[in-house]
Amino acid sequence: MSYPQDDPNVLLLSDLLRVPAPSGREELMARVIMDRIADLGHAPKQDQQGNVWVEVPGQNPDLGHIALASHMDELAMVITAINADGTLQVRPSGGLHPWKLGECPVEIVSDGAETVAAHLCFGSTHTTDPSDPNTQFATGQSGITWPYCHLLTGLTPDQLSRAGVRVGSTAVPVAGVRGPYFFGPPDDPLVSAWLFDNRGGSLTLLRLLQRISEEKTIPNRTTCLCFLVQEETGLIGARGWTARNPVEIFIAVDSAPMPRNQQLQLDGRPAVWSRDSQ
């Protein structure tokens, strides 16, 4: 089937998906977003924490400000050990599970000028050893968990060090597996991707800013469109930004889960959270 590839939302989503932005390493995404803001004729701001935002003056500056906030970071793997053979032990940054990824190519966001290629591996499944995690997984005794996963790099520890890979470096799936992908009827397709959390929120705010610019809209209140760091690891960017920039209303623009047995439908309507997990 043929699907439209030139929709402005799809083009922007594709651009955002290509940028690796694990928590704590959002600088590449920040650069892309700041360039987009500047291209729309606005002046982006960035604090020492890495948060990016743009302030749109309102008609009533004496009223309390509003913040609409996305986050730039994404779930990732964190390197916890570099083995003698160049393989890397990893643990999750945020609520990432290996079975959501599968064995896939990843890129390590290093301290060097380029990312470093690697591959997430669960080990050989050609075994009947009852103590092997893959045997236990294949027989339904347990799931695949991070202690039994590693990254293959093809490099020695010295080569990894020279490339800027260290304990604490983070890795995410490569651009080629991140999407977007289309399926369903060509005249009203669904779109999937490795993550909409929170590329979808950033897309929404950038498109909103574009519309404000094109239509020369002046909001009632001064409005900040925010792109924050380290949401996945505890709302760190949001806590810092709001402490330094008090606003009357703060609205997080993010993806919504659709758990089983909940009366939620996948359609064009927004979802509004009425309670959290506490």
Containing 137, the helix (H) or strand (E) segment is helix 133-138
CA 26 to each of CA 113, 126, 143, 180: distance values in angstroms, whole numbers, following the listed order: 14, 39, 31, 20
Establish if 105 belongs to a structural domain.
Answer: yes
Structure tokens at 136: 């236990």
Give yes or no: residues 59 and 83 share one domain.
no
173 and 84 in a single domain? The answer is: yes
84 & 169 share domain: yes
Residues 109 and 147 in one domain: yes
Judge whether 276 lies within some domain: no
Q: Are 109 and 34 contained in the same domain? A: no
Structure tokens at 183: 């399926």
Same domain, 15 and 89: no
Q: Is residue 210 part of a domain?
A: yes
* DSSP-assigned beta bridge partners for residue 71: 228
Q: Are residues 111 and 241 in the same domain?
A: no
Place of tokens 């402490």: 243
Q: Report the CATH number at residue 146.
A: 2.40.30.40
Q: pLDDT (tens digit, 0 to 9) for every residue of the chain, 278 residues total?
A: 888 888 999 999 999 999 999 999 999 999 999 999 999 999 999 999 999 999 999 999 899 999 999 999 999 999 999 999 999 999 999 899 999 999 999 999 999 999 999 999 997 777 777 776 666 666 667 778 999 999 999 999 999 999 999 999 999 999 999 999 999 999 889 999 999 999 999 999 999 999 999 999 999 999 999 999 999 999 999 999 999 999 999 999 998 888 888 778 877 788 887 766 65
CA 178 → CA 174, 202, 262, distances in Å? 7, 16, 27
Residue 266 lies in a domain: no
Residues 127 and 166 in one domain: yes
- Kindly state whether residues 209 and 171 are assigned to the same domain: no
Domain count across the chain: 2
Q: Are residues 122 and 199 in the same domain?
A: no
Helix, strand, or coil (residue 86): coil
Same domain, 42 and 173: no
CB 88 within 8 A of CB 82: yes
Range of the domain at 90: 76-177
